[in-house]
Amino acid sequence: MEYLDARRKPYNVGKVIFGLVLIALCVFVLKQSPGFGGNSVFSRREPGVTHVLVTGGAGYIGSHAALRLLKDNYRVTIVDNLSRGNMGAVKVLQELFPQPGRLQFIFADLGDQKSVNKIFAENAFDAVMHFAAVAYVGESTMEPLRYYHNITSNTLLVLEAMAFHGVKTLIYSSTCATYGEPEKMPITEATPQFPINPYGKAKKMAEDIILDFSKRTDMAVMILRYFNVIGSDPEGRLGEAPRPELREHGRISGACFDAALGVISGLKVKGTDYHTADGTCIRDYIDVTDLVDAHVKALNKAEPGKVGIYNVGTGRGRSVKEFVDACKKATGIDIKIEYLNRRPGDYAEVYSDPTKINKELNWTAQYTDLKESLSIAWRWQKSHPHGYGTNQI
């Protein structure tokens, strides 16, 4: 027995040594691969590469912004909890930009402080474009606490993470709803902010937090207040796909398309006795392609220690009746219209003065033909009757 044991020992020692060498080799290979120990390409900064975190990047506006950033050779990380966004939009972007180090998607809720800190700790962001938000005025009046949590509180968590991890540039996606019911038109950046619903109030609170914090830091801040968004990607890759249960809260363009597709029996126009040329409300409709262009220009012009606040609109108001007529022409369908009484809280006329953004960011709306914007969006809607799929997630 002693003889046999003596012969086995060298053999066993050899196996152990071989195993250790093999393990060391595996560890070395793993360390060289992206993602090991936080060593992914997204976790380190590279000369000439700007890494942008797009919150809410699976949503309507956020996905279009991510597409534009990727086209412009930015590195993009999308964070979304898919409560309003669509994984289908992310998949489109992943198929368009499959190269390593271009795009990553992180499923996370910005209301979870641990998750937010983990995301910032594991990624080297140069800037944040903060789109993530619930964004329906009507819904905000029914669920105000949800809106204050989702918009105001979540923005605070993102800002705290940026401060702790040294991310110095913030592009904040705000809204004209912060102005409330202005007494004078057009709306300028100096127009007093008196929001009249929880959505607008929550956005203004988030703005106030950002502005107060910016006074004590060298952070570059751009706040964009935009108006009624329409349209979709001109090349037909992305579009607007709200969840069926949220359609009643959605944009008028969505309601027009639903009526044209037969999803609903007709379009309801609320209010025909306003002091406007045709009696219907007047709004400023901004194409989503122009909107994301404004965000990218804001990113490029952001300067440390400075704050820029801009209205993003066409500078021209269009009545609801004009909009409906353009939608009929774009779809080629004689949509049935039902005229109802005014909706409480609606005001007659709202449109922007884009002088400041024209002058300081060299931005001007290009897609100002209602019929053209709606035609582009209609093509996507027709080819995607179920949005990005029967299962939106």
Catalytically active residues are 199
State how far Cα 223 lies from the chain centre: 14
In terms of phi and psi (left: phi > 0; alpha: psi -120 to 50; beta: otherwise), the region of 32 is: alpha
Count Cα neighbours of 338 within 13 Å in the Cβ-side half-sphere.
8
Angle between helices 87-96 and 60-71 (to 10 degrees): 10
CB 338 within 8 A of CB 267: yes
Q: Other C-beta atoms within 10 Å of 228: how many? A: 18
| Pure H helices in 110-251 | 113-122, 137-142, 144-147, 154-165, 198-214
CA distances from residue 212 to 166, 207, 218, 237, 301 in whole angstroms, order as listed: 17, 9, 12, 39, 21
Which of 8, 10, 28 is CA-nearest to residue 20?
28
Q: Which residues of 273-303 are buried (b: 16+ CB within 10 A; e: fewer)?
A: ebebeebbbbbbbbbbbbbbbbbbbbbebbe
Strands of 245-336, DSSP E: 267-270, 282-283, 285-287, 307-312, 318-319
CB 48 within 8 A of CB 128: no
Cα radius of gyration (the chain): 25
Question: Before 144, cis peptide (omega within 30)?
Answer: no
Residue given tokens 């913030």 in the structure block: 170
CB 269 within 8 A of CB 324: yes
DSSP state of 277: S
Residue given tokens 């609801």 in the structure block: 320
Report the distance separating Cα 335 and Cα 259, nearest Å.
Answer: 6
Give the dihedral sign, CA 246/342/262/237: negative
